[in-house]
Amino acid sequence: MGCLVDTTSRPGLVSRTGMSVVTAVDNIVGAVRLAVASMREAYAASGSSVSCIHEIWLQQVRFTGLHALTITAAAGIITGAIVIIQSMAILPQVGAADSLGKLIALIVIREVGPLLVAFIVIGRSATATSVELGTMVVGDEIAVLRSLGIPPRAYVVFPRLAGITVATMALLVYFDLAAVAGGYVVSFMFVRIAPSFFLGSVAHHLRAVDLTATLAKGFLFGGIIASIACYFGLSVEPSPTEIPKAALRTVVHAILLCLVADLVITFASLGR
């Protein structure tokens, strides 16, 4: 009996992995090009165009930043509390129970915070952006904007890029403050640490390079998330079934790229 599946024409694991890597690199290069071109076109925009772009930017900051404050605050408080609870279980064994502030500074503010905020932004804004832009392509809005002399890169992409980047940085600061608050509340409940001692410990262990690295991560993650979301949103084929695929590709690429960027920044800031 003949085989129902033609296995001879299927590429092997190595070829498929290679093709996936090439496609991923191609997508990343495309997203970077889109972001750079959008900045160039927005820079060239004149007075009234700028106010139209600014209006969209404001809407994006409101959606990505303001509307995500509650979930970010909750995530920050819970993360700060979890880190402190786990630390209190372990630290007495290694004789460092007074280092709770240090843990908040090193683990939450420097490492966990930027990634969790990035995941929140990916889950809320990146998916929404790629779906919105995909819908604009399928519904012919992008084509109509072009016909009206409105450049989609300046009017559609740039305000989302700038809005998501600014909002991610702001959310990160907010998350860190919430995590410190959450960490302190738990510390106070269990070991009665004075606020001045706890905050002093956080401040003492938080160096300028940590703060810079954290904000750099917020900036970079925001830029990565927005570029990827806009790129995949605008890359959909004119069919509604392509839109969910664009959202899926956005999430996968944005998570991976943020993790890679985090690794690079962590290495770069190590030992400084």
Partner 1 sequence: MMPPVLTAHAVSVTLGSTAVLRDVNLAVSPGDSIAVIGGSNSGKSTLLRVLAGLVRPARGEVLFKGNPVRSWDPLGVPWPHGIGYVSQLLGLRSNMSVLDNVMLPLRYHGHLPELRIRERATTLLMRLGVIESNVRPAALAPGEAELVALARALAHEPSVLLFDNPSAVLDVDSADRVTDLLRELRGLGLAVVSASSSEAVAAVIADSVRRLRDGRMEEQ
- Binding to partner 1 by residue 145, rule CB under 8 A? yes
- Binding to partner 1 by residue 182, rule CB under 8 A? no
- Binding to partner 1 by residue 32, rule CB under 8 A? no
Q: Which is nearer to partner 1, 35 or 107 (CB)?
A: 35
Residues 228, 31: Cα–Cα separation, whole Å: 6
Binders in 225-264 for partner 1, by CB under 8 A:
234
Q: Which is nearer to partner 1, 100 or 136 (CB)?
A: 136
Q: Which listed range, 41-49, 170-178, 205-213, 264-272, lies at the site for partner 1 (CB under 8 A)? A: 41-49
Rounded to a whole number of angstroms, the minimum distance from the CB of residue 156 to partner 1 is 9
- Binding to partner 1 by residue 146, rule CB under 8 A? yes
Q: Which is nearer to partner 1, 98 or 237 (CB)?
A: 237
- Binding to partner 1 by residue 49, rule CB under 8 A? yes
Q: Which listed range, 2-10, 73-81, 136-144, 213-221, lies at the site for partner 1 (CB under 8 A)? A: 136-144
The pair phi, psi for residue 144, each rounded to 5°, is -65, -40
Rounded to a whole number of angstroms, the minimum distance from the CB of residue 238 to partner 1 is 9
- Binding to partner 1 by residue 144, rule CB under 8 A? yes
Q: Which is nearer to partner 1, 70 or 147 (CB)?
A: 147
User: What is the CA angle 172-38-150, rounded to 5?
Assistant: 125
- Binding to partner 1 by residue 7, rule CB under 8 A? no
Which of residues 153, 160, 217, 253 is near partner 1 by CB under 8 A?
153
Per residue, the 3-state secondary structure of the chain, as one string, reads: CCCCCCCCCCCCHHHHHHHHHHHHHHHHHHHHHHHHHHHHHHHCCCHHHHHHHHHHHHHHHHHHCHHHHHHHHHHHHHHHHHHHHHHHHHHHHHCCHHHHHHHHHHHHHHHHHHHHHHHHHHHHHHHHHHHHHHHHHHCCHHHHHHHCCCCHHHHHHHHHHHHHHHHHHHHHHHHHHHHHHHHHHHHHHHHCCCHHHHHHHHHHHCCHHHHHHHHHHHHHHHHHHHHHHHHHHHCCCCCCCHHHHHHHHHHHHHHHHHHHHHHHHHHHHCCC
Closest CA to 59 of 113, 132, 1: 132
Which of residues 2, 12, 47, 271 is near partner 1 by CB under 8 A?
47
Q: Which is nearer to partner 1, 67 or 146 (CB)?
A: 146
Q: Which is nearer to partner 1, 83 or 142 (CB)?
A: 142
The structure tokens 């009206």 sit at 148
Q: Which listed range, 4-12, 76-84, 151-159, 191-199, lies at the site for partner 1 (CB under 8 A)? A: 151-159
- Binding-site ranges for partner 1 (CB under 8 A): 37, 46-49, 51-52, 139-153, 155, 234
